[in-house]
């Protein structure tokens, strides 16, 4: 979220080139809507520095050879009794959300 789209793709490209097949990568991302709202509200101490958001983190990582598993804080697997509000399903775009990503580098077969 602190890098622009070009920088995000360059970083993932470099990480992919330096990572062995079977490597794991963790990341956190924000949705496009979260990024847009953060960019508009310059009084936010953190969000005013956001430069990128995605609604499709799985595809972002897949484009660089990674198989991503994506969850959102508040989902059943990461709720821990802290979230009282039910989350909008991931398939519905245009919502403010954050993503926690665990990705595994796929082996390339020629």
Its pTM stands at 0.80
Task: Tell me the per-residue pLDDT of 88-98, one tens digit each, with 9 for 90 and over.
Answer: 777 777 878 88
Whose structure tokens read 């989350």? 87
Task: Tell me the per-residue pLDDT of 35-91, one tens digit each, with 9 for 90 and over.
Answer: 877 666 666 666 677 889 999 999 999 999 999 999 887 666 555 666 666 667 777
Q: Which of 69, 70, 65, 72 is nearest to 105 (CA)?
A: 65
Q: Which of 105, 85, 82 is nearest to 19 (CA)?
A: 105
Return the structure tokens found at 26. Answer: 């963790």
Rounded-to-integer distance, Cα 20 and Cα 42, Å? 40
The whole-number pLDDT of residue 12 equals: 96
Mean per-residue pLDDT for 1-19? 95
Domain ranges of the chain: 5-105
Please, are residues 103 and 25 in contact by the beta-carbon 8 Å criterion? yes
Collapsing DSSP to helix, strand or coil, 40 comes out as helix
């Amino acid at each position: 979220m602190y890098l622009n789209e070009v920088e995000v793709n360059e970083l993932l490209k470099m990480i992919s080139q330096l990572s062995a097949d079977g490597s794991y990568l963790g990341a956190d991302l924000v949705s496009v809507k979260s990024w847009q709202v953060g960019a508009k509200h310059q009084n936010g101490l953190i969000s005013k520095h956001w430069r990128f958001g995605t609604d499709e983190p799985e595809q972002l990582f897949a484009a660089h050879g990674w198989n991503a598993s994506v969850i959102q804080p508040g989902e059943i697997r990461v709720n821990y009794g802290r979230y009282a509000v039910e989350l909008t399903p991931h398939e519905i775009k245009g919502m403010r959300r954050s993503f926690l990503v665990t990705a595994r580098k796929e082996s390339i077969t020629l």
